[in-house]
Amino acid sequence: MRHKESHDEVGALLVHNRLIEVRSRDIPDDRTRTVLACPRRKETVDQLQQNWSQTGSLPDLARFSKLRVLELSSNQLNGSVSESVGQLSSLEFLSLSGNSLTGVITESHFLNLSRVQDLRLFGNRFFINLSSDWNPPFQLDWLDMSSCKVGPTFPEWILTQTSLTGLYLSNAGLSGSLPIKVWDLFSSISTLDLSMNQIHGKLPNLSRTSLISVDLSSNIFSGALPSISPMLQELDLWNNMFSGPLSSFCAILHSPRMSYLDFSENLLSGELPNCFMQFRDLEMLNLGKNKLFGTIPSWLGNLNRIRLLRLHGNNFSGEVPSLENCTDLAVVDLGDNNLSGQIPTWMGQSLTNLAILRLRSNEFNGIIPFSLCRLATIHVLDLSHNNISGGLPHCFNNITALADDYISESIILELVWKGIEIEFGENLAGMRSIDMSRNYLVGEIPQSIASMTELISLNLSRNYLTGNLPENFGNMKMLESLDLSRNQISGKIPASFLRLNFLGVLDVSHNHLSGRIPLGTQLQSFNDSAYIGNLGLCGPPLTQICPGDGITQDDGIMRGSETDNKEHDNDGLINLGFFISRFSTVLGFVSGFWIVCGSLLLKSSWRYAYFKFLDDSKDLIYVKMAVAKGKLQRSLQR
């Protein structure tokens, strides 16, 4: 809605001694832009807007009779909202979202708001208490009450809002089934978000709606997947109980703009149907944790705009088809299936934007392709629980961006972290992890692995690795979790391990390590279970005492080791050296004494000068002390 610009008076408006941004003009096209002005008369203010910095509570707004825009989102406002807001009869846009406001919202808060078209209250802790037969004075085109207590039943008054284009009721405490009439309302809505509630029931045919974006995730919807609108671009049905084959989703003729599909964590079964080929603009496809089976179809390689592909936690089998044309892929998660064959070399050659590659818990075999070293933006590389053999690539130094890039997709990923499989969400962007555990890897750990200085988690456990640990292991200074257990690694633990200051989990047990565990607060803080199974390893926290350390016997006297005793058996040489050194010291002292004193005794002029120097020094010291004493007394008398 656009009006001609007016030029009302401007002045200053203070709310609890803080300046509020306002403007006395009509509503612009971009209602969220920052406006700077200062009205002198409250009656002339028609826009009041402040973002990001305001604190405190809302004032009484009754005198702002001309106010048409009230935009106070994303501040730190608290307390309740006065019913005076219901007297702003000229108000068209009201947003209090993203604050810490509380209290009950009643019909009085909307009493005279007949012109309001956009109402946004999300992100507060409001309790919406409106009677079931309430007839609002307004017709909204946008409503967002996410995170407010709206339920448990779907509000009947929303059914009167026939002009709605956007409806957001995420995490609103809704439960039960939706009224039948609600689907008629949705026929005109373009954006619908009912996620994170407890709504159950089946979805009707949505092919005749105007829906563009639908989020029904984390509810209890069941039955077959619905037919959808050809206009639909985003559909999120994650974490429900939808069942049956994916082919039921293909009843529509064409949906050329589909860009986001998430059907993960449902009960869907069958093979991937060919109808998905039509989604040429698809960027995000998540079908994880269902009961899908069969081979992964080759047509996935034609989705050249796809950035996220997750088929994890199903029963897919066979080899991975070529996705080398999907060069925008940032996340590939095919874990927890029955896939076989070798890891394709094109993954490293063509998918240079990969941040997450998760192939764990499959039946991949062969060697790790050297092309994986080209994944310069990799954050999570998980090849664990497979049948991979051969050695670790010596080109880890090419994986340099473990410190630089970030993961832009907001996803949830299961990773083994500090020995426990947990889900990573928003904090996944900070993760740097390599997991190649439970394979058949052989050979030494390459020195180049220490060049990944920003690596946070490294798991090479349960393989057949041999040789010594790299001496520069301590260069990986950001490591928080290191598991090298159950291999055949030998030699000493490098002293550089003492530089791993962030290490919270360490397991080098059941190897062939030997020698003393380097002494330092960090390595001694771990339980002895981190080191057991290495017969040659000694020193704290193990009870095995290293050769050369003192041994306490039953009588409580500290006795040396056998080596020490052999050295003490040769008493003759030791005693002779002792007496020679002591005799030299005494002889030097006696000689120096008589050289000085003998000279004073034999030459009288020297003796006279020496004692005169002593007398003069005594007198000088006495005078200086007397002067200092006098000054101190005078200062005390003042």
Looking at per-residue pLDDT, the higher value among 334 and 3 belongs to: 334
CA distances from 114 to 30, 88, 127, 138 (A): 22, 9, 22, 4
| Distance separating alpha carbons of residues 243 and 240, to the nearest angstrom | 9
Closest CA to 85 of 102, 67, 99: 67
pLDDT tens across 499-524, in order?
999 999 999 999 999 999 999 878 99
Average pLDDT over residues 431-435: 88
At 51, the pLDDT band (50, 70, 90 cuts) reads: low
Does the pLDDT of residue 580 top 90, yes or no?
Answer: no
| Cβ–Cβ under 8 Å, residues 511 and 487 | yes
pLDDT of residue 229: 83
Query: Residue 403: what pLDDT?
Result: 41
User: Which of the following CATH numbers is that of domain 1-138: 3.30.1050, 3.40.50, 3.40.1350, 3.80.10?
Assistant: 3.80.10
* DSSP summary character for residue 149: B
Instruction: Work out the average pLDDT over 96-104.
Output: 93
| CB 144, CB 117: distance < 8 Å | no
Q: Which residue has the higher pLDDT, 603 or 384?
A: 384
The DSSP letter of residue 370 is G
Q: What is the pLDDT of residue 445?
A: 95
Q: What is the mean pLDDT of the chain?
A: 80
The pLDDT value recorded for residue 207 is 83
CA dist 172 and 201 (Å) reads 18
Q: 229 is written with which tokens?
A: 């609108």
Coil, helix or strand at residue 151: coil
Q: What is the pLDDT of residue 25?
A: 37
Domain coordinates in residue numbering, the chain: 1-138
Residue 314 identity (one-letter amino acid): N
Q: Is the pLDDT at 82 greater than 80, yes or no?
A: yes
Q: What is the band of 620 on the pLDDT scale with cuts at 50, 70, 90?
A: low
